Structure 1
């Protein structure tokens, strides 16, 4: 399987491997000014459109961008593979790049003190506030220089968002600006938290002391979700519809993940090419019809 996927990667263009996803992230950045300007309007529909644009762009940059950056799927350059996590994870997401890179698969979203309804409907609202607070707590475990860099980049991202709301969107009241920051940063918090739960819900069945091979655990303990246009755009195929393939081939970009899932025609052609090999152990038709 890995050989077949690598063959697909080698025969794909740069646009297919990285360009499509980079274009989506670039469009999200370019759409931010329009979102901030919409918030100047007194028209409720235009204002709501601005909130929607800023919210979707925020999650595209923080979820899709951070996820691809931490897996080195945005570029083949080693230098840029170190730079992009700093931008997407620390500036945009307000989290630590080191912990996002090395620990995001092991993060558990378990809060046993909360009942199911609070956890599923109210807890997601805490993400915009909890994320930078958890990041600051994690800085105790990194070197001083790394901690100072992370604090500076997180502060830059948060203050830039606040400054743009005051100066581009025209908010006069700092409290309203902070409230708008919270609203846009929590717009897709519910599907983000829910997707993380749904797609890794099988992993706890494996004992920490007696785990199977990584490929078995990652292919059996996770699942794919049906495609949804908004989440495909903001979160990416590797998080939504191709999460199993992402666990098997983590360096594939979102645009390349669906190529790891063969369609009917590809399977038909493969079966024709290797008919004798595949059919050598197949039971005779008489066993299937009971003769």
Structure 2
């Protein structure tokens, strides 16, 4: 009781420090999309430097987390409430104590030495501080422990086997798709287009995504092999740049200005309807062109390997259409390649902008810790049989879970979804969810503000 009285007296004597002056950009101050939620400064100092073999869900992205920005929320988003202010005792970094290794830099581009938990006790047992006094690291650590328990109880079939079989099944139906294109009847021909389109997007989206996170297998060596196969041969892109841009930057700095803010998806000179409904058709053409432009940033041997793999994948597709499907002309085969490779390009573009653009954005020196960053800046879409099957749960209905635990497979993200959603809501952290059509209407109605007239990223720093 004496220690508790002293603790309360000390707490009364402390005055909260200000996180900084709230600044709002005049272009966004009166925006109908801005819904400001009061959020106090995030305490503690950031940790820097990547760590190989970092544990599941552990680590925050590199920054000086001096203050947590006040987020913007879009209309139509459901969330549990503002994040809870956490206080980290000086000199203590609880972190997460899990034993599930992940791919190096897999969503965690910062490091910090794991410090043992030290419990100091006085003459009399001190009571545990209230919930609001716990550190943000301890919240991530507690959630990681809950998820790790599920992972340990799961079999290999649940961790990797289900998703591996889904991808394998698509390749088994690949011959049927090419044979259907030989038919002169419309229905079998359209069936062949559908099958080839599904196979292509399952390989290039689901397969490439899981391979980049080393979630297809527990072997890092085989993980690299599958990454080259799915990203370079199937997707006609370079594996190193895909890993850097997606895993290192997008996951490491989700919605952090100029780093992982999804600004590469914005094409301001395009009309909203052209961007949303016509431009996606050009994705199969733009992808290898962008990859060729990025080859200058990789080693010569990597560039040569990528060129060989890209040519192998594109020529194999063309050769099968000519020699198996029976296309008589070069242009008819190329048009068929374009149709099948852009079969689900529209939802692919939509999903990539729906789940991050329009959500809170942060400057690198004023972003919150990992659990707050991922809960604020990521959104889940409802389950969809077609997109879940071809893109994967981690991209559609479990995107929040995927950003918190990026090394888990699609099936495991679906399995931990109830645990993550209940935990975030219990701790009064955001858990953003919205429907596909709601986000589509939002982007069509506010396209100018979200995708065209947004100020340069350097002007956005610190406004939220």
- Any idea what the Cα deviations from partners look like across 1:180-212, whole Å, max 9, x if unmatched? 000000000000000000011245622345322
**1:169 match: secondary structure:** coil
Distance 1:146 1:156, change over 3 A: same
Q: Do 2:238 and 2:306's aligned partners in 1 also have CA atoms closer than 8 Å?
A: yes
**1:147 match: secondary structure:** helix
Q: Distance in 1 between matches of 2:212 and 2:152?
A: 22
Which structure carries more helix by proportion?
1
In structure 1, stretches of 5+ residues that fail to align are: 272-277, 279-291
**1:187 match: secondary structure:** coil
Residue 242 of structure 1 pairs with residue 384 of structure 2: no
1:252 alignment partner in structure 2? 408
Residues 1-291 of structure 1: matches in 2 within 5 Å? 1-104=143-246, 105=250, 106=260, 107=262, 108-202=264-358, 205-262=361-418
Q: Distance in 2 between matches of 1:116 and 1:204?
A: 22
Say what the alpha-carbon RMSD is for the aligned residues: 1.7
| Per-residue deviation, 1:42 | 0.3
| Per-residue deviation, 1:82 | 1.1
Please report the TM-score for the alignment, with normalisation by the length of structure 1.
0.88
Q: Do 1:201 and 1:222's aligned partners in 2 also have CA atoms closer than 8 Å?
A: no
Q: Do 2:182 and 2:189's aligned partners in 1 also have CA atoms closer than 8 Å?
A: yes
**2:415 match: secondary structure:** helix
Q: Distance in 1 between matches of 2:155 and 2:354?
A: 33
- Any idea what the Cα deviations from partners look like across 1:27-77, whole Å, max 9, x if unmatched? 111111000000000010000000000001100010000000000110001
Q: Do 1:60 and 1:234's aligned partners in 2 also have CA atoms closer than 8 Å?
A: yes
Larger radius of gyration: 2
Q: Distance in 1 between matches of 2:355 and 2:164?
A: 25
Alignment coverage as a number of residue pairs:
267
Q: Do 2:360 and 2:376's aligned partners in 1 also have CA atoms closer than 8 Å?
A: no
Q: Distance in 2 between matches of 1:100 and 1:22?
A: 21
Q: Do 2:374 and 2:400's aligned partners in 1 also have CA atoms closer than 8 Å?
A: yes
**1:255 match: secondary structure:** helix
Q: Distance in 1 between matches of 2:308 and 2:395?
A: 29
Instruction: Extract structure 1 runs of 4+ deviating beyond 6 A.
Output: none
